[in-house]
């Protein structure tokens, strides 16, 4: 992939600040930025203008539908595609997308996270636009869908997704980080953001081989069998030369991710045979989680094109390394300082030590919540 070409396509399917500034009036753009950065409310008239600009941008890219894209507690994403197309009173086709549709939708919540746990009259769910994560287009062979990152709650406000508690946790950390920074005399700091770089490890297995294993096909992992003659004992796979078919897969994944504004900074062989890793650039925690879902979705689709079966299970093979999603976590302030990085000047390390101590104290006091937040049937 040529660098100039990668730069030319970068972010082409993301309604980012650059696209917003090009298509929104200045006062609407400033109001939207205030909503994104400061949590200020966006009135209905402004929401209509943002929705109109988003619709025209999406149509210009080939999109035909839109959806509120959210993260139910299924370890996957959910979406209900709605068409931009409708008919006017004369039966003529028109394309519309209103501010109220951008801000809120009402998908059925009876089966999310699972069916039968709520009464029928309580089954209504609400998805609400999260403006802090930019909308993007997922392209298909015959068009595209405008995906609007959203939270998902029940009719009484109970979170039914993973984004809502994440946003609450991030807000709590950032609010208290600002308080601590001001206690150290940092009066000019405008914000402190939680940042995450989520590594993604995975296995690739040839489809003809995987089809012969029902456990791989249906469970994404092996349930029985003997150890292979050669595993990872020779330590010759880690950082080794990437096989040409795998490299072709990686390049195609990266190309699609560039279009979605996702930068993969590292790709390499992992420890176990047929195990590999992508590592994206650090981003704000909320955006990083959305991007990790995009990465996994594109990897699944691209693996099929390259005649691979993608395994994202934490431990698909006994006796070999499992696949981790290492969450590299930090806090950055508005002056570009990493608050969890020590200084070479030991006298200036008091602030760093305070943040580190607070983090360790929280991990010690609330370790059960840490474990619960990452627990799943695959790792219990």
pLDDT tens figures, 236-262: 889 999 999 999 999 999 999 999 999
**306 and 198 assigned to the same domain:** yes
Element (H, E) at 175: helix 163-183
Band (376; pLDDT cuts 50, 70, 90): confident
- The answer, yes or no, to whether residue 89 has pLDDT greater than 90, is no
CATH code of the domain covering residue 288: 3.30.590.10
- 33 by Cβ neighbours in 10 Å (0-12 / 13-18 / 19+) ranks as middle
**277 and 142 assigned to the same domain:** no
Q: List CB contacts of 244: < 8 A, sequence separation 6 or more.
A: none
pLDDT tens, residue by residue, 327-344: 999 999 999 999 999 988
**145 and 234 assigned to the same domain:** no
354: left (phi over 0), alpha (psi -120 to 50) or beta: alpha
Give the model's pLDDT for residue 234. Answer: 76
Give the model's pLDDT for residue 345. Answer: 81
Q: Are 192 and 286 in contact (CB under 8 A)?
A: no
Give the model's pLDDT for residue 344. Answer: 84
Q: Is residue 118 part of a domain?
A: no
Kindly report whether the global pTM for this prediction surpasses the value 0.75: yes
Structure tokens, 2: 């040529």
Q: Are 63 and 80 in contact (CB under 8 A)?
A: no
Band (380; pLDDT cuts 50, 70, 90): low
Structure tokens, 201: 């490890």
**230 and 325 assigned to the same domain:** yes
- The answer, yes or no, to whether residue 361 has pLDDT greater than 80, is yes
- The answer, yes or no, to whether residue 115 has pLDDT greater than 70, is no
**89 and 220 assigned to the same domain:** no
- The answer, yes or no, to whether residue 215 has pLDDT greater than 90, is yes
Give the model's pLDDT for residue 275. Answer: 96
Percent of the residues in the chain that have a pLDDT greater than 90, as a whole number: 73
Give the model's pLDDT for residue 292. Answer: 97
- The answer, yes or no, to whether residue 300 has pLDDT greater than 60, is yes
What is the C-alpha to C-alpha distance for residues 127 and 34, in angstroms, rounded to an integer? 22
Q: Is residue 306 part of a domain?
A: yes
Q: To the nearest whole number, what is the mean pLDDT of the chain?
A: 91
Structure tokens, 267: 């790709």
Number of domains in the chain: 2
Q: Which domain holds residue 29?
A: 3-99+130-150
Q: Is residue 166 part of a domain?
A: no
**Which one, of 299, 291, 298, lies nearest residue 262 by Cα?**
291
């Amino acid at each position: 992939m040529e660098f100039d070409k990668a730069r030319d396509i970068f972010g082409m399917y993301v309604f980012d600040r650059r696209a917003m500034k090009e298509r929104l009036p200045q006062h609407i753009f400033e109001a939207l930025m205030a909503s994104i950065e400061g949590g200020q409310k966006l009135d209905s008239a402004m929401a209509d203008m943002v929705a109109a600009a988003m619709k025209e941008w999406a149509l210009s890219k080939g999109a035909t539908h839109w959806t509120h894209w959210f993260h139910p507690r299924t370890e996957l994403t959910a979406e209900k595609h709605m068409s931009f197309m409708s008919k006017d009173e004369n039966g003529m086709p028109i394309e519309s997308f209103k501010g109220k549709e951008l801000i809120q939708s009402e998908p059925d919540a009876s089966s999310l996270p699972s069916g039968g746990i709520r009464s029928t009259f309580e089954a209504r769910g609400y998805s609400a636009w999260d403006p802090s994560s930019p909308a993007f287009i997922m392209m298909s062979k015959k068009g595209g869908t405008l995906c609007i990152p959203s939270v998902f709650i029940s009719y009484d406000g109970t979170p039914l997704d993973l984004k809502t508690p994440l946003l609450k946790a991030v807000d709590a950390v950032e609010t208290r980080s600002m308080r601590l920074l001001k206690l150290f005399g940092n009066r000019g700091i405008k914000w402190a953001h939680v940042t995450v770089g989520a590594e993604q490890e995975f296995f690739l297995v040839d489809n003809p081989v995987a089809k012969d294993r029902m456990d791989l096909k249906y469970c994404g992992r092996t349930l029985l069998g003997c150890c292979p003659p050669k595993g990872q004992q020779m330590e010759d796979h880690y950082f080794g030369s990437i096989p040409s078919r795998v490299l072709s897969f990686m390049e195609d994944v990266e190309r699609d991710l560039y279009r979605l504004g996702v930068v993969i900074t590292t790709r390499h062989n992992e420890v176990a045979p047929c195990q590999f890793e992508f590592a994206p650039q650090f981003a704000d925690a909320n955006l990083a989680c959305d991007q990790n879902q995009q990465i996994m979705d594109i990897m699944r689709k691209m693996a099929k094109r390259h005649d691979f079966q993608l395994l994202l299970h934490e431990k698909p093979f006994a006796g070999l390394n499992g696949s981790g999603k290492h969450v590299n976590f930090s806090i950055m302030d508005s002056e570009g300082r990493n608050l969890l990085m020590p200084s070479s000047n030991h006298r200036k390390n008091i602030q760093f030590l305070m943040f580190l101590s607070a983090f360790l104290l929280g991990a010690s006091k609330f370790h059960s919540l840490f474990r619960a937040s990452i627990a799943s049937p695959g790792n219990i």
